[in-house]
Amino acid sequence: MLEGRRIVLVEDDEIMGASLLQRLTLEGAEVQWHRQIARALPAIRTPRKTLDAVICDIRLPDGTGEELYDTLTRTGHPPPFLFITGQGGIDQAVRLIRSGAADYITKPFDIGAFLKRLAAVMRPRPDQDMPPETGITSVARSVDRQVTEAAKRDSALLIRGASGLGKLRLARRVHELSDRKAAPIVVCNALRDTVSAHELKAAVDDVGEGSLVIIGISRLGPCAQDSLIGLLAAPRFRLIATLGLEADEEAQVMRSDLLSLLRSHEIVVPPLADRPDDAVWLAAQLFTGFNARRMVPLTGIAASAEKAIQSYDWPGNGRELRARLMRAVEAAEGAMVLTSDLFPERAADVEMRSLSEVRDAAEKAQIVTALERTHGQVGEAAKLLRISRTTLWEKMQKLGL
């Protein structure tokens, strides 16, 4: 029933947790069992692989399942939550359902009924056998799923994201997966060239029943936008447009009807800064090709360099990562790519951390020590640190604990 499914179990009761872990594993699921919110939060927020569901008790030693769910919804779309509650927590569970949680089940429950509830809340896995294109994190896999779904439609599509995220690559993939793949794909780059109404009409003639991609559509002049709206009245072609993250500012120079048409079907690509594991994955994908060009191949990317990739903000996103890695592979003198190969500018300066970085590192070490002494009990750890539980919780969020 659950073959290949990935589930996070958040349950502090040792007997129930062990029982559910055993049964779910027998059903073929991959299960991560966490007993506190502090451990479950990062496992759900940044999973190594896409999660299919979260099974979560309402009452936990360092907070409530509601606090965990609310925290996750502030920064993204969590996997389906199946809450476990006693009779006294039904009102809270109902409130969670209204907030977007999938379902709840009350204790005690029949394991057969529980498995049916779990199977019902889990999302379909159309991407289970599909290799990653954008990355391995849940948000990257979501982008890949949206691309696959967009390819099944003929409506105009907007792909939005910062520079260097491969928006044109995604546009080409939508075309290649669609029924229009036998027809041409024509790209007009409004960021680089001034695209007139006449040139736009010529591009539409060339594309026929294929896909017309307009990069930086907000840069089209008023006449070109007017012409495009006319061409979209009864189109033979499919329009795919890209736009930067500054969409609100760019929208001021776009026709409102054109923007509304595009935003009705939109794919947003998150920056690499929000997807550190995807940055490491992308580096591994690119490394193979770059390494093949060397006379003496390298053995890989050092673990310390991978950590540096994870911690860097990547303002230039994938384009910057590609450039840095290409240079690093070419310049590497040892057997592996090192941090100094990727970021040579750091070696030129004496390594000095800011006072805020030093303070954060010290606070993180102290909090970890307190949590270890109290076996993950946030309330007890807060007493040791002489701060409120709310303050400790906020600091744990800030420091990634």
What average pLDDT is seen over the chain?
Answer: 87
Give the DSSP H or E segment for 215: strand 211-215
Co-location of 103 and 170 in the same domain: no
More confident residue, 148 or 369: 148
Residue 288 lies in a domain: yes
Positions of E strands within 16-135: 30-34, 53-57, 59-60, 63-64, 81-85, 103-106
Co-location of 262 and 329 in the same domain: no
Co-location of 248 and 284 in the same domain: no
Structure tokens at 346: 């750091």
161 falls in which pLDDT band (50, 70, 90)? very high
Looking at residue 350, its pLDDT comes to 47
Residue 203 lies in a domain: yes
Co-location of 161 and 200 in the same domain: yes
- Those residues whose C-beta lies under 8 Å from the C-beta of residue 108, and which sit 6 or more positions away, are none
Q: Go through the chain and tell me how many residues it has.
A: 401
Question: For 262-295, how does the pLDDT look when each residue is reduced to its tens digit (9 = 90+)?
Answer: 888 999 999 999 999 999 999 999 999 999 999 9
Q: Give the integer Cα–Cα distance in Å for 32 and 25.
A: 10
CATH of residue 392's domain is 1.10.10
Looking from the CA of 62 toward its CB, the CA atoms found within 13 Å total: 29
Strands of the sheet with 53-57, listed across from one edge: 30-34, 6-10, 53-57, 81-85, 103-106
CATH of residue 280's domain is 1.10.8.60
129: pLDDT strictly greater than 80:
no
397 falls in which pLDDT band (50, 70, 90)? confident
Co-location of 258 and 162 in the same domain: yes
Average pLDDT over residues 195-205: 91
Degrees to nearest 5, angle at CA 166 with 227 and 339: 155
CB 53 within 8 A of CB 4: no
Co-location of 163 and 59 in the same domain: no
CATH of residue 41's domain is 3.40.50.2300
- Where does a domain end: 270, 287, 305? 270
Residue 238 lies in a domain: yes
Burial 300-331 (b: 16+ CB within 10 A, else e): ebbeebbebbeebebebbbebbbebbeebbee
3-state secondary structure of 387: coil
Cα distances (angstroms) measured from residue 354 to each of 104, 357, 358, 359? 46, 5, 6, 9
Q: Give the integer Cα–Cα distance in Å for 168 and 152.
A: 18
Q: Is the dihedral of CA 321, 72, 48, 364 positive or negative?
A: positive
The percentage of residues in the chain with a pLDDT greater than 70, rounded to a whole number, is 94
Co-location of 381 and 393 in the same domain: yes
Residue 320 lies in a domain: yes
Looking at residue 380, its pLDDT comes to 82
Question: For 53-85, how does the pLDDT look when each residue is reduced to its tens digit (9 = 90+)?
Answer: 999 999 999 999 989 999 998 877 888 999 998
Q: Give the integer Cα–Cα distance in Å for 132 and 326.
A: 22
Amino acid identity, position 384:
L
Co-location of 146 and 265 in the same domain: yes
CB 317 within 8 A of CB 165: yes
Q: Give the integer Cα–Cα distance in Å for 106 and 86.
A: 5
Co-location of 189 and 216 in the same domain: yes
38: pLDDT strictly greater than 80:
yes
Co-location of 376 and 338 in the same domain: no
Q: Give the integer Cα–Cα distance in Å for 30 and 118.
A: 14
Residue 126 lies in a domain: no
Least confident of 114-118, 155-159, 216-220, 248-252: 248-252
Residue 259 lies in a domain: yes
387 falls in which pLDDT band (50, 70, 90)? confident
What total of structural domains would you count in the chain?
4
- Where does a domain end: 270, 292, 310? 270
CATH of residue 187's domain is 3.40.50.300
Q: Give the integer Cα–Cα distance in Å for 20 and 31.
A: 10
Co-location of 148 and 262 in the same domain: yes
Co-location of 225 and 318 in the same domain: no
361 falls in which pLDDT band (50, 70, 90)? confident
- Where does a domain end: 60, 86, 121? 121
Residue 129 lies in a domain: no
Range of the domain at 227: 138-270
Question: For 82-97, how does the pLDDT look when each residue is reduced to its tens digit (9 = 90+)?
Answer: 999 887 778 888 888 8
Residue 128 lies in a domain: no
